[in-house]
Amino acid sequence: MASALSPPQVLKPKYVLPSHYHESFLEKKGPRDRDFKKFWAGLRGLTLYFYNSNRDSQHVEKLDLGAFVKLTDEAPWGSPHDPSTHFNLVLRNQEIKFKVESLESREMWKGFILTVVELRVPSNLTLLPGHLYMMAEALAKEEARRALETPSCFIKVSRLDAQLLLERYPECGNLLLRPSGDNTDGVSVTTRQTLNGTPVIRHYKVKREGLKYVIDVEEPVPCASLQAVVDYFVLQTKNALVPFLLDEDYEKVLGYTEADKENGESVWVAPSVPEVLCPGPASPASGPKQLPPVPVMPVPRQHKLPPLLNPDENYVIPIGDTPAADYENGDVPSPAWLGALKPKKCHPAPKVQAKPTKPPTAPKPEPKGLPSSLAKKLAVSSAQALFPTTGLASVTAELEEKLQRRRALEHSAELAGGQQANLGAWHVSHVDPSSQN
């Protein structure tokens, strides 16, 4: 019977230990350390890597040798151990103390460090021929590595910008590589030093000839790479020239320039950051505060339109005077929206023909089906609907008085017209008897 297929075995990746020019156990003590701490150390390029053991592939600390100054053999003061097992690595910004197991180990570490920093095999150390051969191999690897990379002090800026960078950031170095101004494959070197308090700026041209670079001075100096050009300037000036390395620090506070209104000078302003930066869901504890709801203002009463009348019913709408525009209080509604309310046109009353026997009488027009008292109340109520009494008592009384006076004038005019018509008809009937035929 066939056996069940077993799941395929997944091969675990094997960690490849990094290759170093030199490696061994090394005890290290930094400026903030109280005592020495033992690491497995390895040198590759211009960096010292420190591991917890010789089986680890990931380093826990590293030390850049780009800021190298010198090596010393001074042992800690009052140390009972052999001073030949101690050496100090002095950098521009700190000093590191090391302790090794033997004099041979100390000379090996010093020899490899000087080889990668100075790009030459040292000759003033106590070393065996085999050791010197190993350092020569490390030198060839380092030169090949540097030929493929650009130095950190190479910045693509113009001649003027290079001078400004060295002037504004003197703490970052005083030697800078930049592209050549004649649009060739070469580069230029800009340096800035101080002589008796006066800045001195110099520019040097480096030509590209095949795979090599040549420093264009009185006696041309060939170099295998751009890093070799930098190293030549550093070594020939006894570390007086330091490669420029700009710190890429990011600002933590937003700021901008603003012109001062008094003196016209520009000042740097850092505005305060509001609590609510952008809308979006957030937790109630730490999120932005909710904005208060916008209150809805009710429409004032005086702006409400009166209810529409039923067109089927024959109501009489009184005609009132349009209020004047120059009100003294601001609560009176504007006549613009009052003008939109056009009164309903009343049907003309039927004309009464004068009879020859009886003089015609013109009765007072009243609403159909409504007594005169009710029509008068309706007119007053309509005026009150258009002009509410809230805050407008004086205006309403004045309009009522005008309405009553106008109705009295219309009534008297109608009575006078009726009497004149009756008298005219009676006079015609008596004077011209032939009109009856």
pLDDT tens sequence across 381-420 = 554 544 444 445 666 778 888 888 888 888 887 777 777 6
Q: Which residues, at least 6 apart from 346, have a Cβ–Cβ distance to it below 8 Å?
A: 314, 316, 317
Contacts of 360 (CB under 8 A, 6+ apart): 352, 353, 354, 418, 421, 422, 425
The confidence score (pLDDT) of residue 37 equals 94
Q: Comparing 129 with 344, which gets the higher pLDDT?
A: 129
The confidence score (pLDDT) of residue 177 equals 95
Q: What is the pLDDT of residues 310-321, one digit of tens each?
A: 544 444 444 444
Q: Exposed, middle or buried: residue 190 (CB in 10 Å: 0-12, 13-18, 19+)?
A: buried
* Interacting residues of 348 by C-beta distance below 8 A, sequence separation 6+: none
> Which pLDDT value is given to residue 316?
44
If you average pLDDT over residues 12-36, what whole number do you get?
A: 84
The answer to whether the predicted template modeling score (pTM) of the entire model surpasses 0.85 is no
What Å distances lie between residue 177 and 134, 145, 147, 158, 213, CA to CA?
Answer: 32, 19, 15, 10, 13
Q: Per-residue pLDDT averaged across 31-53, rounded?
A: 93
- Does 354 score more than 70 pLDDT? no
According to the model, what pLDDT value does residue 5 have?
Answer: 61
79-117, pLDDT tens digit by residue?
555 667 899 999 988 999 999 999 999 999 999 999 999
Q: How far apart are CA 176 and CA 319, in angstroms?
A: 95
The pLDDT of residue 374 is above 70: no
For 208, the token pair is 């590209």
